[in-house]
Chain A
Amino acid sequence: MDIFSQQLINGLTYGSLLGFIALGYTMVYGILNLINFAHGDMVTLAAFLAITIAPLAVAAGTLAMIITLAAVVVSVCIIAILLEKIAYKPLRAAPRLSLIVSALGAGMVIKNAIMLIWGANPRIFPRNLFPAGLAKFSDISVSYLSVIILLLNILVMLTLYIFINKTRVGIAIKALSTDYSVAELMGVNVNNTVMIVFLIGGGVGALGGMLIGASYTTVTFSMGFDYGIKAFIAAILGGIGSIPGAMFGGLLLGLTYTFCSGYVSSAWANTVTYLLLIILLIFRPNGLFGRSLVQKV
């Protein structure tokens, strides 16, 4: 039983981290139908920025953590908006696949820029940014960080859920993702709304990147791809476009992966995870929380 509970905690923590990243994918896809392949690399960038900013903020004493977090989130938000303006906005009317390749190219640029600036070797993430330490219940260990990750995940999802459903901007986002052209005709400001979506996705992703750094203490320039692709799959599992879907998709993927490694075979964990995805898509193509989509002719 201890082992089972421990695996449950492992899976929930890993799944929540994926949830942070999945959110950026799901929101951008909801509006632009774009798989933002550069998102995983933005998450990596956030972790590397924290490595550079944290030592500078130490002077601020107790406020160091807040300052670092804020500075990183703000810079990533700015870069996310720039990315949208440079690489995606000119392509709104272009074929869908061009947008995907533009995203792949942008990801490549960010990844290699990180390598050139911070080097190809793994870097150590600052240890003092988040509280360290462990709580032990009989034989189960729970780090304070995993509790923070879980709570933050729920908090962010709830906030966003309320934001989308209750504020003007949120309703504009919802309108655009329901029907882009009708919303545009009804006077929704497309450019501003898209910008806000990238801002939210980038900011939450940046938070996720720093939490990943803190959880595993090392970050490498190439780690964005693996997290990115898993998070995107999580977004699809949850039903792409759905905000609670991103959270539950992340948890589902995290738990599947963990229990496969723990109880089936670590050598085949990825295979089982992807098979699950394929089977789910065959029988429930819109994910767990997605609206069923009627193709208009």
Chain B
Amino acid sequence: MKKYFLVLIMILILFCACNRKTSNEFVVGVQAPITGEYASEGQGMSNAVKLIVQQQNDEGGLNGVMIKVITCDDEGSPQKASICAKKLVNDGAKVVIGSYTSTATAASQEIYANASVIQTSDATAAVLTQGNYKTYFRASFNDDIEGEFTANYFVNVKKYGNIAIISDYSSFSSGLAGAVVKNIGLLGGNIVCNEKIDANAQDFKAVLTKIKALNPDVIYFSGYYTQSGLLRAQQVQLDIQADYVGGNATDNPQFIEIAGEQNAIDSYLVGLPVPEQLDYPEALKFNSDYLREYKAPVPSIWTVINADGLRVVFEAMKQVNTNDTIAAIEHIKGGMKDFRGLTGPITIQRNGERAGSIYRVNVINSDLDYETVYYDPVSGK
């Protein structure tokens, strides 16, 4: 009995492990956290890719070839990401969208680069473009740019005297906080404290009380909306008279719910526009198509940015008239200028970074709507 079981397992492994012949379809891979902490974002990515591929197939495919989507769940972990990347390469993926988190993206870059698979993601860690992987580019902006924008707003626009910074232990949050701190330092701003919170905990009053004693003019948090909402609620509860500013991961409808409606009013959000704020015709169409297809609104701006990455690749392949990945990535990084993206004009630089910036500062007004109070002067042109 035990023997048969063992043989069965071996056969099963053999079946899974063998290389299978790839079809002549053009394969697009999605490497995203479908389960776990970032499940809603990962599912959004996968949905958006499927939507765009379906629309492209309706137009007759890509240079006459039909497109197929394969999804691999990396659970946001670097170890699973590495296995996912190899699986997608083996399954013949030519373009991969992913992953959501910077850590998982970094773990897979080398594998895609070696296989000449184009990879694009919404990850923002600065290190991702420092490895000079020829096949990687992103339609998002790196943390340094958000850091620069935030620092400029704090020091030159708002002229805050005492700035308190809070971050958590996620790679995204600590990377962003690091960039903000660095840029505030460069502009000569005064940081009174740089605190850490544990994202698993819910009671941040100890840290906030400490900050209260330092009389800050602003409290900035670089982490996700769950902790951000709690921080804002506890700030109000402790009666700390300072502006509250959240980084771009605070941007989620649940922030208002968690902080409580009364508390959320007058909080500032620095970041990319929310999907509903995009007024380019392509974006309006994407939002409504997504709503029709999945009976739910686009989960976040990251979904749109990933969609933009894929659209850039498709457009490049159409322009160079071939589905060859090397030719396409060359064109993306050298030839394409001001592609009409869902998030505004897109130009990708040689190192794979997107040029310009689309950051803005929103404030939550008394009707609980976002009101833009400050634009990036660069993107204004």
Contact = CB atoms under 8 A, between A and B. Distances in A.
A10 B196 CA distance: 17
Interface in B199-223: 200-203, 205-207, 209-210, 212-213
B196 A120 contact: no
25 contacts: A3-B210, A7-B210, A10-B206, A14-B205, A120-B37, A120-B39, A121-B254, A127-B260, A141-B239, A212-B202, A215-B203, A216-B202, A218-B202, A218-B229, A218-B230, A218-B258, A220-B226, A258-B205, A259-B206, A261-B210, A262-B206, A262-B209, A266-B195, A266-B206, A269-B206
A259 to B, nearest CB: 8
B258 A122 contact: yes
B239 A3 contact: no
Nearest to A258: B206
Interface of A: 3, 6-7, 10-11, 13-14, 120-122, 124, 127, 134, 136, 139, 141, 143, 212, 215-218, 220, 222-223, 225-226, 257-263, 266-267, 269-270
A261 B212 CA distance: 13
A266 B197 contact: yes
A276 to B, nearest CB: 16
B interface residue count range (under 10 / 10 to 19 / 20 to 34 / 35 or more): 20 to 34
Contact of B238 (A6, A124, A267): A6
A141 B207 contact: no
Interface in B21-80: 35-37, 39-40
Contact of A7 (B40, B206, B237): B206
Nearest to A213: B202
Nearest to A142: B237
B239 A257 contact: no
Given A216-B230, A218-B258, A262-B207, A223 B213 contact: no
A141 B202 contact: no
A218 B197 CA distance: 17
B257 interface: yes
B198 interface: yes
Contacts of B237: 134, 141, 143
Given A10-B203, A261-B206, 8 more contacts: A3-B213, A10-B206, A11-B206, A120-B37, A122-B226, A134-B237, A139-B239, A216-B230
Contact of A262 (B40, B210, B239): B210
Interface of B: 35-37, 39-40, 195-198, 200-203, 205-207, 209-210, 212-213, 226, 229-230, 233, 237-239, 254, 257-258, 260
B230 A217 contact: yes
A122 B210 contact: no
A165 to B, nearest CB: 33
A140 B212 CA distance: 11
6 tightest A-B contacts by CB?
A261-B206, A216-B202, A267-B196, A258-B206, A10-B205, A226-B200
Nearest to B252: A121
B35 to A, nearest CB: 8
Nearest to A260: B206
Contacts of A258: 205-206
A136 B200 contact: no
Contact of A216 (B36, B203, B239): B203
A170 B238 CA distance: 42
A124 B263 CA distance: 15
Contacts of B209: 3, 6-7, 10, 262
Nearest to B201: A226
Contacts of B205: 6, 10, 14, 258
Contact of A122 (B196, B206, B233, B254): B254
B206 A217 contact: no
A258 B203 CA distance: 9
Contacts of B230: 216-218
A135 to B, nearest CB: 11
Given A10-B203, A136-B239, A124 B257 contact: yes
Contacts of A215: 202-203
Contacts of A259: 206
A122 B255 CA distance: 11
A178 to B, nearest CB: 36
Nearest to B257: A124
Contacts of A122: 226, 254, 258
A217 B210 contact: no
Nearest to A220: B226
B158 to A, nearest CB: 25
Contact of B258 (A14, A217, A222, A269): A217
Contacts of A225: 200
Contacts of A136: 239
A262 B36 CA distance: 32
A153 to B, nearest CB: 15
Contacts of B200: 222-223, 225-226
Contacts of B35: 120
B193 to A, nearest CB: 9
A257 B206 contact: yes
A11 B207 CA distance: 11
Nearest to B208: A10
Contacts of B226: 122, 218, 220
A120 B207 CA distance: 27
A216 B259 CA distance: 9
B136 to A, nearest CB: 29
B210 A263 contact: yes
A217 B233 contact: yes
A216 B200 CA distance: 12
A3 B212 CA distance: 8
